[in-house]
Structure 1
Amino acid sequence: MAHKNQPIRFSNTLAGSQQEEWPPLVSPPTLFRYLTTERAKEVLRDNRLYLCSPNSFNDPFDCRLRPGFAGSKAEYKRIGLLLAKGTKPNASRQALRGMVAKVRDKLNPMAFEKLYDSWESQLLNKSGMLCLTEWSNDLLMWSHYADKHTGVCLQFEHILGRDLLGNAMPVRYVDSYPGFSFVRTFAQIHNLEQQSEALVEFGKVLFLTKSTHWAYEKEWRLIDFPIDGQPRYGSRNFAPHALIGVILGCKMNDDCRGEILALVKQREPVPSIYQAAKKDREFALQIRRFE
């Protein structure tokens, strides 16, 4: 189950963070998904993976990072002008200046914090997310996500840009809370030339930044944003060939093992089957071919 990783560089920056570099990361050839036996049966039978709402996550910081809301007079003025142009794109300069003057006092940190709370609620309530990992033998993830080692770990082919899982992106683990500005992002979003890039960058900070306490998970995430305002959580089809391996938990009982094996052997192509087992004199698992 060991693989040589090919390095893929991400030349990204954190939105509003003084051009802080996103560190170079590697893209593994496969990614894994830990599941209970019942969930694994559904995936094997239907070729569908479930994207959940970020509201269901157990980490209170996950996808709930708070940006800064203070802005300079120049930034507030620029935002007022962008809003005015959006309301009346054909208005004269004098008319636009008058519109900006009327809203200037309303553009303050409290107003942007209130706006962000509404925006955050929409993102958390309606986004869909699939969490994957680079590891197939982590003791904690088998315990937490695969029903105390009685479940399954599925191995998927991962090629950047190809099929459903090719759109997954790596989580960035940090020691310090990221500093990023919602005021600056808001201004960029209302500038059509910067809108797409600003949304992507802000989304990376919000949804792909976690504390180093979680670094052991080596997580990758497939994220579906509610750009059209509609909920994006729910099931998604994946190509049958993308599932290349099925790992059985070390505490799976014989009945569940028989059901999983029957579903695996019905697939085309048939994925490889592995068994997780405790190592004799280590706090570790070995993943070996099932016989």
Structure 2
Amino acid sequence: MTVEPHPDLPPSLYKYCSQDAARAILSNQTLQFSRPGLFNDGFDLRIALAINIDEKAVIERALDQIYEGAYGPEPFLPGNKLGALLLLMRVFFRNKPEPDAFREAIRPAIEELIANRKNMLRQLCNELAAETAKFKVLCLSSSGTIAPMWGNYADNIHGAALHFAPREEDSLFLAARPVSYVDHDPILFDDQGFTDWLSGRRGLGDSDLLSQFLYTKTAEWAPEREWRIVAGNGWKPDDEREYVEFSTRDLEAVVFGFRSNATFRGEITKLVTERYPECRLREMRLADGQMTYEIVDL
């Protein structure tokens, strides 16, 4: 099945590897998808959501919208169970109550919902975290010259970065999506959004909560320039790791760290020559006169 790529999908994606990981990936022609509990970020797929509202304004607006939903002349599309109930009230309770009396009768329930929104959010985030904790994820980067990545994931520059460029219509890498980096909790609802939810016009499913969980990290991780491929629960839901085959044509290059030794380079060169005929061998090195890395052909 053809995957619709993200509109900003970069032409190249990189997997930083230790020497052992590079040998295993190239020998088996597979990449490891892992549960987030194995990642080095304890908050991965455990983000907190926020509801930033003006409480008084939301209460008054929600009361108005609930009355309009039950007794107003204009149609509306229900977004949750309350919305469906309000539509039923239009059918079975045709005698309109006095608006102010109606508002005051339901005001305590609305105020209680707003007062308890933090508990609601906490429960929602815990439920989403429990669901996504079973997901399998492959983490990649849009750049092959990130110094901390070479230090943290590539054996302190002794390892390699595998350079992938999707060439097949059904390439695994076409499913990659970018990670967003935030310095504050993502906003679930603003004033109008929360008002619509309280008055039955909007459901939690109208917000892409799952994507926020899967593709959001704190700003401290922004230098990684991460793209990730999410495989849901995977093909073997009980396993913490799964190994997924990729096309040999999608391996554009193996980029050696400049500290990698001759033995490692020889082993990888042999594997590439035998199994990846379209793959190039390259090296990451210090750029002349600059405090940056560059990648050059060998």
Q: TM-score, normalized by length of structure 1?
A: 0.69
Which residue pairs with 2:179 in the alignment?
171
How far apart, CA to CA, are the structure 2 residues paired with 1:280 and 1:59? 34
Which residue pairs with 1:220 in the alignment?
227
Give the alignment of 1:1-291 within 5 angstroms.
26-68=8-50, 79-80=80-81, 109=117, 110=119, 113-114=122-123, 116-124=125-133, 126-158=134-166, 162-181=170-189, 198=207, 201-226=208-233, 230-231=237-238, 233-290=241-298
Q: Is the CA contact 1:29–1:159 (under 8 Å) kept in the aligned structure 2?
A: no
Letter in 2 for 1:145: Y
Letter in 1 for 2:130: S
Provide the identity percentage: 25
Letter in 1 for 2:183: D
Letter in 2 for 1:120: A
Letter in 2 for 1:51: F
Letter in 1 for 2:29: N
How far apart, CA to CA, are the structure 1 residues paired with 2:218 and 2:258? 29
C-alpha displacement of 1:134: 1.4
Q: Relative to total residues, which structure has the larger helix share, 1 or 2?
A: 2
Q: Is the CA contact 1:51–1:234 (under 8 Å) kept in the aligned structure 2?
A: yes
C-alpha displacement of 1:217: 1.7
Paired residue total: 249
Aligned with 2:255: secondary structure?
strand
Residue deviations 1:115-148 (CA, integer Å, cap 9, x gap): 5424412312x11111111111111110011010
C-alpha displacement of 1:240: 1.3
Q: Which has the larger Rg?
A: 2
Residue deviations 1:185-208 (CA, integer Å, cap 9, x gap): xx8xxx9x995x75xx21221121
Flag the 1:228–1:143 CA change in 2: closer, same or farther, 3 A. closer
How far apart, CA to CA, are the structure 1 residues paired with 2:183 and 2:121? 27
C-alpha displacement of 1:64: 1.5
Letter in 1 for 2:31: L
RMSD: 4.3
Q: Is the CA contact 1:127–1:233 (under 8 Å) kept in the aligned structure 2?
A: no
Flag the 1:207–1:38 CA change in 2: closer, same or farther, 3 A. same
How far apart, CA to CA, are the structure 2 residues paired with 1:32 and 1:68? 33
Letter in 2 for 1:123: T
